[in-house]
Amino acid sequence: MIIIMHPHVTEGEIQGVELKLESLGLKAHVSRGVERTIVGAIGDERKIHKESLQALPGVEEVIRIVKPYKIVAREWHEADTVINLSGVPLGGKAIQVIGGPCSVETPAQMELSAQGVAQAGCRLMRGGAFKPRSSPYAFQGTGVEGLEMFRAAAAKYQLPIVTELMDVRMLEVFMEYQVDVIQIGTRNMQNFDLLKEVGKIHTPVVLKRGLCATVSEWLMSAEYIAAGGNHNIILCERGVRSFETAYRNMLDVSAIPFLKKETHLPVIVDPSHAGGKAWMVPALSKAALAAGADGLLIEMHPTPCDAWCDADQALTPQELSRLMAELRPLAQVLGRELTN
């Protein structure tokens, strides 16, 4: 941490900063230049609130040198992390596509969805039993009954399931139904109590980016989970809110290579929520893989026009199969493998 002092700082003010750093368990290194004096703080700066130093007399600016996140940073773990999702590897050279409907509706719908996911060559299945909706009057999900339907349909095709956890009080139920991968949705990215609780277990977690979250804020949320002991974290870019209204969200493709440099964690992309239109999903999927994504989270419904939510962005089973066929050679060109 670097503390830049005002041009006309006094010796007393410099000594005040030194004493403050010592009281916080850090050492101070004073460098006096022609125009400015800089105080370097030596030690673990992550535990220090920069505001407490910014308020000291004579201080002009406080700049952090060390990243606020540690466990998820690549500088502490150089190799790419490969996460075992109930026998399915994600990360490294393995690219996975997680397919399935936005929401769990009926046993028949889930049976056809699981069949379509498996036939397309996807090795994991998604589906929402609990749905966070902008309107309190919109369909909120089928709840625990939905978990039962989801587990039964996916088990027939040996597909690990990915589903969203909204309420920490439901974590025990998720464990009871042996949910393979817990999704923390965009609206809960900074629900820190929820992040702490999933940090206490070892079930893999897909952490979606918040609607207006910076990459740093997103990684700090991942750090909450990792700090609890659960390092099985998958980051999911799903588009951020912008001024544009032509499509649902703005897919931040730039975030993918940045994250691959900044963190060792796997990064996947949800092109369905980014574009909000089924016809956009193939192009966004290819862009995501080309940028370095480790996987995709794609919505597929047996009959999209009958879907209870997000009908516009769901592929048909046939469209998902075609997309998988198009993605395999792209993965090979990139030196990776789309497993099936």
What pLDDT sits at residue 47? 73
Are residues 112 and 155 both part of a single domain?
yes
Q: Are strands 94-100 and 88-90 parallel, antiparallel or unpaired?
A: unpaired
pLDDT in tens, 148-170: 999 999 999 999 999 999 999 99
Instruction: Kindly report the CATH number assigned to the domain that includes residue 219.
Output: 3.20.20.70
Does residue 283 form part of some domain?
yes
Which of helix, strand or coil describes residue 173?
Answer: helix
Are residues 117 and 240 both part of a single domain?
yes
Beta strands in 284-330 (DSSP E): 295-299
What is the percentage of the chain residues whose pLDDT exceeds 70? Answer: 96
- Of 8, 59, 33, 57, nearest to 41 by C-alpha is 59
Are residues 195 and 87 both part of a single domain?
yes
Within 10 Å of residue 169's Cβ, how many Cβ atoms?
A: 8
Q: What's CA 332's distance to the chain center, in Å?
A: 25
Are residues 106 and 41 both part of a single domain?
no
pLDDT in tens, 208-267: 999 999 999 999 999 999 999 999 999 999 999 999 988 989 999 999 999 999 999 999
Does residue 68 form part of some domain?
no
Q: Are 251 and 237 in contact (CB under 8 A)?
A: yes
Q: Are 271 and 251 in contact (CB under 8 A)?
A: yes
Are residues 105 and 54 both part of a single domain?
no
- Of 229, 231, 230, 290, nearest to 257 by C-alpha is 290
Domain boundary among 63, 90, 105: 63
Q: Are 102 and 299 in contact (CB under 8 A)?
A: yes
Are residues 258 and 318 both part of a single domain?
yes
Are residues 298 and 211 both part of a single domain?
yes
Are residues 147 and 276 both part of a single domain?
yes
Is the pLDDT assigned to residue 111 strictly greater than 70? yes
Query: Residue 233 is part of which domain span?
Result: 74-338
Banded model confidence at residue 272, pLDDT cuts 50, 70, 90: very high
Instruction: Kindly report the CATH number assigned to the domain that includes residue 48.
Output: 3.30.70.1140
Does residue 78 form part of some domain?
yes
Tokens, residue 290: 């080309």
Are residues 34 and 100 both part of a single domain?
no
What pLDDT sits at residue 49? 82
The amino acid that residue 130 corresponds to is F
pLDDT in tens, 298-335: 999 999 998 888 889 999 999 999 999 999 999 999 99
What is the number of structural domains in the chain? 2
Does residue 104 form part of some domain?
yes
- Of 86, 152, 155, 163, nearest to 127 by C-alpha is 163
Q: Lowest mean pLDDT of 42-56, 107-121, 228-242, 261-275, name the range.
A: 42-56
User: Mean pLDDT throughout 114-129?
Assistant: 95
Are residues 263 and 188 both part of a single domain?
yes
- Identify which has the larger pLDDT, 34 or 19: 19
In whole angstroms, what is the distance from residue 244 CA to residue 270 CA? 18
Are residues 140 and 185 both part of a single domain?
yes
Query: In the chain, count of helices (H) and strands (E)?
Result: 11, 15
User: Mean pLDDT throughout 85-108?
Assistant: 95
Does residue 281 form part of some domain?
yes
What pLDDT sits at residue 68? 77
Domain boundary among 63, 94, 113: 63
What pLDDT sits at residue 194? 96
Q: Which residues pair with 132 in a beta bridge?
A: none
Are residues 29 and 99 both part of a single domain?
no
Does residue 190 form part of some domain?
yes
